[in-house]
Amino acid sequence: MPAKTALITGASSGIGKATALKLLDLGYTVYGAARNSDRLAAVARARVLPLVMDVTDDESMRMGVGRIIAETGRIDVLVNSAGYGSYGAVEDVTPQEARHQAEVNVFGAMRLTQLVLPHMRRQHSGTIVNVTSMGGRFHSPLGGWYHAGKYALEALSDCLRLETKPFGIDVVIIEPGNIRTEGSGVTARKLREASGEGPYATQATAVLTALTSEANARRESQPSVVADAIAKAVSARRPRTRYVAGFGARPLIAVRGIVSDRMFDSLMSRAIGIPHS
């Protein structure tokens, strides 16, 4: 039997990189996609096939999927891992930034899914893995636009799971907790730019302190724990619909399911250090 083929976005760092290396170890032919070819050099040295792809560029995605089909004839696994967190008060984040985050985190993932589905349907097999976040299950201050995208990806994944079941295609949601990646620095920078000054500055300072503290750094899980969950999902004969991995995710999701909205508001504000009357 030929090796199964996996396409992983965001493969130049963090969760995407760890997942590419993990699936390579499992015997997959792995295509690692990212915007910058130079940043794919490390995974390329490990025999991951580098694929320059921008998930906000339709032609880029079409060409990438076309190359994989031309070279291997199949796509067995798609891992939508590319994404970033842009924090700031809902009022402060510019429409341009809000749209761009949605293009990367939601529309890019779903467009790439649309492009691989005809091939998976022809095979009558395949697994689509959408990396959301524990932030797709609850809310936090100054994270509105980020949470919106993750909530949307969760909903789309649930609908897609129903739609693709008759074709033998599994859809899996991965909900990482606090993970050590480059994304934390991006989130902090975007938050400073959007709300570091003005009426939400006090809240922004509290959130920034929580994000950049040594205590928070010590609690971060390695990306490998998420890669392990993805490997478990794609290896299962009947994968679970959701896998939770990384520090804080399971207890926070559990608490959100138990307490009222206002109680969760209060708990979250106190945990971050924001006054909540």
pLDDT reported for residue 183: 79
Is residue 2 scored above 80 in pLDDT?
no
pLDDT computed for residue 65 by the predictor: 98
Q: What is the mean pLDDT of residues 81-86?
A: 94
Is this structure's pTM higher than 0.75? yes
Name the phi and psi angles at 48, rounded to 5.
Answer: -75, 135
By residue count, the chain amounts to: 277
Q: What are phi and psi of 51, to 5 degrees?
A: -135, 110
Coil, strand, or helix at residue 169? strand
Contacts of 117 (CB under 8 A, 6+ apart): 164, 169
How far apart CA 67 and CA 114 sit, in angstroms, is 16
* CATH among 3.30.420.40, 1.10.10.1110, 3.40.50.720, 3.40.640.10 for 5-272: 3.40.50.720
Q: What is residue 218's predicted lDDT score, i.e. its pLDDT?
A: 87
Q: Is the pLDDT of residue 167 over 70?
A: yes
Confidence of residue 274 (pLDDT cuts 50, 70, 90): confident
Q: What is the average pLDDT score of the chain?
A: 95
Query: For the residues 221-244, what does the mean pLDDT come to?
Result: 97
Q: Please, which pLDDT band fits residue 276 given cuts at 50, 70 and 90?
A: low
Active site residues: 146
User: What average pLDDT does the segment 175-188 reach?
Assistant: 90
